Amino acid sequence: MRIGIDARPLSAQAAGVPRVVSSLVREIERLDQEDSFYLYSHREFKLPFENPRWQKRIGSQASRLPSIVWFWTEARGAILKDDLDVFWSALYIPPLSVPSNVAKILTVHDLESRLSPETMSLKTYWGHRLLVWPSVPQADRIVAVSGSTARDLQRVLKVPDSKIDVIHHGVDAAFKPQDPERAARYIASKYGVSKHYALAVGTVQPRKNLVTLVEAMKILRDRGDGSFQLIVAGVRGWKNTKLDETMKRLGLTGEDIRFLGLVPEEDMPMLYSGSWIFVFPSHYEGFGLPLVEAMACGVPVVASNTSSIPEVVGDAALLVPPTQPEAFAEAILRVRSDKDLRRTMIEKGFRRAACFRWDKAAGQLLECMRRTVAEKRSGNRRD
């Protein structure tokens, strides 16, 4: 096959979708010894391998076009020239006006713009409403990153079940247990934080529901059970006025809660391993990769009982309603006070995390591509 890949995420910061695409590309290259790959991006990016069957198609330096405009104009010419069999994008939107015999596969991570529009910026919301919502049903096949997202696609965008493949994310091999005390000392020294900390990971935005976590911290402080620092790792996103106001109203400071911003990828296993608990109060997730990373590092998890989260953690975590800070506080205390529970959660977490592998995900994506191309050819052969 001649496979096209929307490689624009590979030129972005290694978080979220860029990490997913990078991990899948790495494993696809390792697994696939037959096909040719063409990677399209408006900016230069690095590949972790050299392989003549993998070719870049980079926008001209003179081009100042926005990413999506470049994708629909300049990139289209390269896509036509490369005579593709299939094109895969993890950014929800297929190429514009490619030949009908090119199979189009989209990965959909979540439907936040339809289910939680109040949690995102207006720019992102309107971008999804005008571009994503109409584009998704046009794909020949859709990859959903969880059964929860698949059900949302069926219910909200009316995508038939027969058109959806569920392919879970994986977890990188680097996410494995480190010595907790050594990891905590390393993080404390490098980032100037406490050696006794709880951890939350994700973009600081309303969907991550950090307000509930802040309120839970206040409850623990008032009870005299909050002798630890909460560390939040993730870039600061949008609409955080309520979060800032809540911290101020409750009298919580940087000594109580530290926002580290984007932590380098190489430090993340140490950051997880040094924490005594991982908390994930999100209102809505398409998958929730930090959950798997935390479990793989041997950290007990307390999380919301919504969307994809129960599917991802199975029976390895304590799950509570995202709108109940008291429930989060009680769950955190249970993990802290019950050594048997903590040990059981860690053991179950290891087993659960082992179910999610990037090589497995890459193999499933390749199989999805082959099947979709075969279906396309059977009904719409090349001339």
Confidence grade of residue 124 (pLDDT, cut at 50, 70, 90): confident
- Return the pLDDT at 15: 72
Collapsing DSSP states into helix, strand and coil, what is residue 79?
Answer: helix
Res. 98: pLDDT tops 90? no
Percent of the chain with pLDDT over 90: 75
Q: Which pTM was predicted?
A: 0.92
- Return the pLDDT at 291: 98
Q: How far apart are CA 356 and CA 345, in angstroms?
A: 17
- Return the pLDDT at 381: 42
Res. 383: pLDDT tops 50? no
Is residue 346 within 8 A of residue 299, CB to CB? The reply is yes
Q: How far apart are CA 185 and CA 195, in angstroms?
A: 6
Q: In three state form, how does the secondary structure of 207-260 look?
A: HHCHHHHHHHHHHHHHHCCCCCEEEEECCECCCCHHHHHHHHHHCCCCCCEEEE
| pLDDT tens string 195-253 | 999 999 998 989 999 999 999 999 999 998 878 999 999 988 787 889 999 999 999 99
Q: How far apart are CA 16 and CA 20, in angstroms?
A: 7
Res. 62: pLDDT tops 60? no
Q: To which residue do tokens 């809505």 refer?
A: 284
Q: Which helix (H) or strand (E) holds 185?
A: helix 180-191
| pLDDT tens string 334-361 | 999 999 999 999 999 999 999 999 999 9
Res. 320: pLDDT tops 60? yes
How far separated are the first and last CA of the chain, in Å rounded?
A: 17
- Return the pLDDT at 313: 98
Query: Structural domains in the chain?
Result: 2-170+358-379 (3.40.50.2000), 180-353 (3.40.50.2000)
